Structure 1
Amino acid sequence: MGSTAALRELQRELENKANDLSKLQKVPRIIRLGRSILFSLELDLLNEDANVYKLIGPVLVKQDLAEANANVRNRIDYISDELKRLDSTVQYLEEKQNSKKEAIFKVQQRIQSLQAGKGKA
């Protein structure tokens, strides 16, 4: 009876660790999606005589292309810093995922050894 309770406890532990891993795996995907959105600025593709507008409240106001480029460059600098921060977060979460996978593997091994011992008895 003791090995059955231990087996159930290990299976519960395995489920909890698998759920934790699943939650952790979603976060880097969301961060990568945000990263691709941040790089979607394409002012460099415009001709010099192209009209550029800036949204101020509910109104679009015509803006000089050079000024728009300067604003975008400042935003890109900010975005680059944010991306570095997000990359380090992704790396940390991936390391945490690997740790959870190792823990899951160890629990699975313990379950298998308990089941093998129970099968022999």
Structure 2
Amino acid sequence: MSDALQVRLQRASTDFQRLQSDLSNAVESRQRLDAQLSENELVKKEFALLTPKNRVFKLVGPVLVPQDLGEAKTNIETRLDFIRGEIKRVEAQLKEIEGKQEEKKIELVEIQTALQNMQAPVTTARSSALAL
């Protein structure tokens, strides 16, 4: 029985570590998306200051290509919508991972408690035998 609990503890521990790694990756992804969102919102604000006489260029490879201001504004709006959608997806992923992590943590505590309870009578029996 103890061996089965040890194996179960090892699996649960491995799963918990994997969840921690997944959570870390999701947090990094969320931070990148936040940075992209801020950058694109800044570009949108800058576009709001432009007049139709201003020229907008798009970097294509090593070349700056003229772009229509309306098209550039539409592209930024589309990009912002996409980034916001990705943020919502990552937020849902974070909540899911955190929930799984909490469940795994509870499972680990239960297994460790069961192992300690199994070892307690053995330790008590040894102590009693040594006292005699």
| TM bracket, shorter-chain basis | 0.7 to 0.9
Give the corresponding residue for 2:107: 103
In the alignment, which of 24, 27, 36 is matched to residue 29 of structure 1? 24
- Alpha-carbon distance in 1 for matches of 2:18, 2:59: 37
Matches within 5 A, 1:71-82: 71-82=75-86
Runs of 4+ with deviation above 6 angstroms: none
- Alpha-carbon distance in 1 for matches of 2:14, 2:57: 47
Alignment pair present for 1:88 and 2:92: yes
- 1:11/1:53 CA distance change after superposition, 3 Å: farther
- 1:71/1:7 CA distance change after superposition, 3 Å: same
- Structure 2 length normalisation: TM-score? 0.72
Q: State the percentage of identical aligned residues.
A: 33
Structure with larger Rg: 2
RMSD: 2.3
Alpha-carbon distance, 1:45 to partner: 5.5
2:44·2:76 contact (CA, 8 Å) conserved in 1? Answer: no
Give the corresponding residue for 2:128: none
Q: Which has the higher contact order (CA 8 A, sep 6+)?
A: 1
Question: Which deviations, in whole Å up to 9, do the C-alpha atoms of 1:19-62 show, x marking residues without a partner?
Answer: 10111112222222222222242314546388653244564313
Paired AA for residue 35 in structure 1:
R
Name whichever of 48-57 and 28-37 sits farther off: 48-57
Alignment pair present for 1:19 and 2:14: yes
Q: Count residues with an aligned counterpart.
A: 116
2:57·2:65 contact (CA, 8 Å) conserved in 1? Answer: yes
- Alpha-carbon distance in 2 for matches of 1:59, 1:84: 34
Unaligned segments of structure 2, at least 5 residues: 126-132
- 1:96/1:8 CA distance change after superposition, 3 Å: same
Give the corresponding residue for 1:48: 50
- Alpha-carbon distance in 2 for matches of 1:27, 1:65: 40
